[in-house]
Structure 1
Amino acid sequence: MVVAEVPKLASTTEYFFKMGVEGKRFRPTILLLMATALNVPMDVDSLSRDLRTRQQCIAEITEMYHVASLLHDDVLDDADTRRAIGSLNFVMGNKQAVLAGDFLLSRACVALASLNNTEVVSLMATTLEQLVTGETMQITTSSDECCRMEYYMQKTYYKTGSLISNSCQSTALLAGHTAQVSMLAFDYGKNLGLAFQLIDDVLDFTGTSATLGKGSLSDIPHGIITAPILHAMEEFPQLHTLVDRGFDDPVNVEIALDYLGKSRGIQRTRELARKHASLASVAIDFLPESDDEKVQRSRRALVELTHRVITRTK
């Protein structure tokens, strides 16, 4: 699906799809499990295969969206590593990285149109809008906005949760499920995505470059205030002054980290992640009952994923 006619474009587009640097494939795994968890018995095998193919297409589109956003983010952040190798912009330059991201999005749009489902097309198009909105919120935030937890959670949903939630809902819609079941799929994706990002924010402070495959402590030096610092700010209002002052000076970063170490910021962020993981698990519990062993196994796996998200170390 990411094959390109021009060799240079092909090599850049496939950069993060090659074996060894393909990432965790977290999102496609969720969507394929969700497809089985929402399995609709069909009398004709060919219809069942066609539905599975269409749902798999959503998983592929989602991964292309995700990788395209990584390529663009690395350009915006001037990153030099990604998935334990040189970022595409670092290796081949910003122009090639941007064009590779654009190409992935265009291929995803072609695949999306082939599904011939207006509601799904609208949902996935909205996801792109929200991804851009979230990134814009991050780079244009005022000092007042970046100190508000509500603003952070909204931005986090747009940047991380919307892709998983809308893709899960699209998977349910393709199977012809009711609005209620589709919303349960949406709720699972939304809360799992939020839990994932909250733990990501914790790992930015507690992880290392070796385990994360990218530079640790990458947010606060760029002035990006995440949940651990926001929670610490409630205990130490002095952090507001540091945020207003900015973090261009490494001394300010060190002072902020000192306050974070004295606070329950990391612990409270983990607790918030556990809350959202629990809400994701509840959404699976409320899906219509099924005696199908494959359905039950997939639902157990989706619940297991909520535990893995909050206990991961990379």
Structure 2
Amino acid sequence: MALWWRRCCFSRAPAFGSLRSLLEAEGPRLGSGSRAGRAVGGAEMHYFLGRSTVLSFPKIRSIFLRFHHTTTSRTCSCSKTVTDEKFKDPFKLGRKDLKNLYEDIKKELLVSTAELREMCEYYFDGKGKAFRPMIVVLMARACNIHHNNSGEVQASQRSVAIIAEMIHTASLVHDDVIDDANSRRGKMTVNQIWGERKAVLAGDFILSAASVALARIGNTTIISVLSQVIEDLVRGEFLQLGSKENENERFAHYLEKTFKKTASLIANSCKAVCFHTRLP
């Protein structure tokens, strides 16, 4: 799987090209925001992509909207030849698959208490980039094309994208409490409006709703893979609270913390959608 990932992710096939470009563009920003312990750029992508060297990333955000790279004629591991074709905008490529994403997430948050419902839906307002679900649907498309030449994302693969966004958002609610953050995405945080105790409970509820949606997929392998993400998030937060005196140990500590807090969700979500295609 690791060899296949390296081969395909860095090929020139449009779906994989868009995925690669999106990952490289997002790299410097994975450590931004109020989540103080997140690592930046190269080290995290080195961990995530399994590369032997640290990647260098473009510093311009406009790469999200337009990709100017062109390809040369070559055959990728999918046995398809791409000739002078521009990489597609990943957000346009995955737009159809993520249509009504936040509405569908809100349907998972079945709660009768008005205040709790408002808290849980607070960050699902469509103001986020939806970077993680976008990565998931791009990976699903790429895997399906590679496996059976189908570019359609399956319903269960889309469910993985929804679950990934829910797990991520639950972690944001909890992190804002830990960091005593005042703002998130240009507005006040849940903990600032409703208080820390209620914010913790709201994060727990989002996580429980994600777990219910995960169980509904019915694939034990996928359940195991995505459950690992939740464990990694907790372990990563604990690692952030500690430090190492030795410089070499400190960097290794940083890499492990970064993978568990941020990259594990992306990597394991992508891994989960691959199981639907029965890749070798």
Rounded to whole Å, the distance in 1 between the matches of 2:122 and 2:240 is: 26
For 1:145 and 1:112, how far apart are their aligned partners in 2? 40
1:146–1:152 Cα contact (<8 Å) kept: no
Cα distance, 1:176 vs. partner? Answer: 1.9
Query: Does the residue aligned with 1:38 lie in a helix, a strand or coil?
Result: helix
The match for 1:158 is 260
Amino acid at match of 2:140: A
Change in Cα spacing, 1:10 to 1:146, as seen in structure 2 (3 Å) is farther
CA contact (8 A) 1:27 1:63 kept: yes
Give the alignment partner of residue 11 of structure 1, picking from 92, 107, 118: 118
Report the residue type matching 1:4 in the other structure: V
Flag the structure with higher helix content. 1
Asked whether 1:176 is paired with 2:278, we answer yes
Match runs of 1:188-203 below 5 Å: none
Are residues 1:112 and 2:214 paired?
yes
The 1-side partners of 2:235 and 2:174 are apart by: 14
- Which residue of the other structure, out of 115, 122, 134, is the alignment partner of 1:29? 134
Mapped to 1, the partners of 2:251 and 2:244 lie a distance apart of 13
TM-score (norm 1): 0.51
- The answer to whether the Cα contact below 8 Å between 2:132 and 2:165 also exists between their aligned partners in 1 is yes
Q: Given the two structures, how large is their TM-score scaled by the length of structure 2?
A: 0.57
User: What residue number does 2:190 align with?
Assistant: 88
Deviation at 1:38, TM superposition (A): 0.9
Say if 1:145 and 1:151, in contact at 8 Å, map to a contact too. no
Cα distance, 1:147 vs structure 2:
6.9
Alignment length, in residue pairs?
A: 171
Residue ranges of structure 1 left out of the alignment (5+ in a row)? 179-314
Q: Deviations over 1:194-244 (max 9, x none)?
A: xxxxxxxxxxxxxxxxxxxxxxxxxxxxxxxxxxxxxxxxxxxxxxxxxxx
SS in 1 for 2:128: coil
1:38 matched to 2:139? The reply is no
Q: Note the C-alpha offset of 1:95.
A: 1.5
CA RMSD of aligned residues (A): 2.1
Match of 2:44 in 1: none
What amino acid is the match of 1:13?
C
